[in-house]
Amino acid sequence: MKIHFLGTAASEGIPNPFCSCEHCQQARIYKGKDLRTHSSVIIDDELLIDIAPEFSQQLLRDELDATKIKSLLFTHTHPDHFNVGELFSRMEGYGFNITHPLQIYGNDLAINGAVGVLPGYSAERFGFHCLIPFVTVETCGYRITPLLANHAKWELCYTWFIEKEGQTIFYGHDSGWFPELTWQWLEGKKIDLTVLECTYGFNGDNRTNNHMSLETVFSARDRLAELGCLPKKSKIIVSHISHSGGLLHDKLVEECNKENILVAWDGLELSIN
């Protein structure tokens, strides 16, 4: 599998347009990897996770074709991940020469939210699948399992365990320290690539709720190792990065290098082998 990071920022983006903190000011000057759009990834150019507010621009920037996307997984319905209005452009009469339906997976809020903006949709254009945590389904050659996150108070947010041809990706955010049921499910599962978030930067707490700090990321790595999830070639990468973490890209890379953890940036492609 190949994972392509369309966006790597937390909910404010970097820079946050409404912020003049030092981090945002420096990002405006340095640009490059310090400019981050909202978090979303695409796997093998055909399986999309979340739709960021900058979706169209992300695809244009990286020369990707949205008509090739076959499946869409939603982690949850916070607006930085759930720019569901974009889907209207795939409706009949709006998007042309589309030859397959887009299969959409998520929790009940996500599926209801998506259906709600697509009145009168046709089955040739969209299929909807409201998933139950820990129940695996198949989509276009991928086995996908929603695992519970520890994120919003009134929504069962999902992280995604994705398997194809013996390779596995665990897309583990948005989430704080995972709920015990998720740890239990992960026990003994080999993960080739784990994507975690580090929204809080360093904050002195290694068991954060809602989002992960870097200390929580390091502890999660240790817990995954204890559970036998990290074979030798396994990689961990952080995304969903916030200006409030206070670490510009190079500094974050320096800190994560010490822990053998990678840092995502907008446009990064990683192949698993």
**Which residues of the chain form contacts with Zn ion (CB under 5 A)?**
11, 16, 19, 21, 24, 78, 80, 174, 243
* CB 106, min distance to Zn ion, A: 13
Closer residue to Zn ion in complex, CB, 168/199:
199
Q: Are 205 and 219 in contact (CB under 8 A)?
A: no
Closer residue to Zn ion in complex, CB, 163/197:
197
Q: Are 52 and 7 in contact (CB under 8 A)?
A: yes
Instruction: Give the CA-trace dihedral at 128, 134, 135, 141, to 10 degrees.
Output: 70
* CB 13, min distance to Zn ion, A: 10
Closer residue to Zn ion in complex, CB, 25/271:
25
Q: Are 76 and 82 in contact (CB under 8 A)?
A: yes
Q: What Å distances lie between residue 112 and 32, 86, 147, 161, CA to CA? A: 37, 15, 19, 22
* CB 85, min distance to Zn ion, A: 17
* CB 52, min distance to Zn ion, A: 10
**Which of these, 28, 21, 5, lies nearest to 201 by C-alpha position?**
21
* CB 268, min distance to Zn ion, A: 18
Closer residue to Zn ion in complex, CB, 174/266:
174
**Which of these, 261, 237, 243, lies nearest to 41 by C-alpha position?**
237
Closer residue to Zn ion in complex, CB, 8/16:
16
> Measured in Å, how far apart are the chain's first and last C-alpha atoms?
8
